[in-house]
Homo-oligomer: A and B are copies of this chain.
Amino acid sequence: MSTEPEKLHISYNHVHKLCQEAAEGIRANGKPDVIVAIGGGGFIPARILRSFIKHKGEKNIPIQAIGLSLYESYGDDDVEQIGKEVIRTQWLDMGALAEHFDSLIGKNILIVDEVDDSRTTLHYALSELEKDVREVQEKLGRTSEKTTFSIFVLHNKNKPKRASLPEAMFAEGRYHAAKTVPDAWIAYPWDQMDIDAHTQKATEQGFI
């Protein structure tokens, strides 16, 4: 009998297909004008998703990155202590955004991360981005324009959450999880030291 927790092995091609499957639903609910990837986990799904949200002949959707850190590793890769707070390691450069994208005001903004675990990181990202945009709107006297936030994650863990998202986000179909899974350990391919062995396990589990 193993005491190892249930572990889901996810291949790159599976991640690719999850993004592909989710893209039309995301687009149907309002094509994103900009993707905000929560780094490091959101980078890979954001980049893949972009290929599928974009239709032939359209311009690429810009990806902006923010860095948020909730877990911090202490001395051993297998032992992680849950951080007391979310730490910003990178935030949007609103100056550059204003210049190139006419800011985020009135836009459809899609926030992307790999997993919705405790929901703490997503709650933080959404509420802080909403606050920043609202401040710029007030500053510029453009409060009548509606800025819409959506969320995409590869996996939502079916478990009690430590933080919440606005009810309207679910009611209006602005929360997109490619898969809802049990509260298991999700092994993403980008963390694997032996990708062939990992892909073999993913194949056996059907996550290919």
Contact = CB atoms under 8 A, between A and B. Distances in A.
29 contacts: A12-B12, A12-B16, A12-B189, A13-B189, A13-B195, A16-B190, A17-B195, A20-B195, A37-B43, A39-B65, A40-B60, A41-B47, A51-B190, A51-B191, A51-B193, A56-B76, A57-B73, A57-B76, A59-B73, A60-B73, A63-B65, A63-B90, A64-B65, A65-B65, A87-B100, A89-B101, A91-B93, A91-B96, A92-B93
Instruction: Assign chain A's interface to a size class.
Output: 35 or more
A50 interface: yes
Contact of A63 (B39, B64, B92): B39
A48 B16 contact: no
Interface in A33-90: 37, 39-41, 43-44, 46-48, 50-52, 56-60, 62-65, 67, 69, 72-73, 75-77, 87-90
A16 B65 contact: no
A110 to B, nearest CB: 14
Contact of A100 (B43, B47, B88): B88
B43 A63 contact: yes
Interface of A: 11-13, 16-17, 20, 37, 39-41, 43-44, 46-48, 50-52, 56-60, 62-65, 67, 69, 72-73, 75-77, 87-93, 96-97, 100-101, 189-193, 195-196, 199
Contacts of A189: 12-13, 16
Contact of A47 (B43, B58, B89): B43
Given A51-B193, A57-B73, A62-B90, 7 more contacts: A16-B195, A43-B43, A47-B190, A51-B192, A57-B76, A65-B65, A90-B93
Contacts of A199: 13
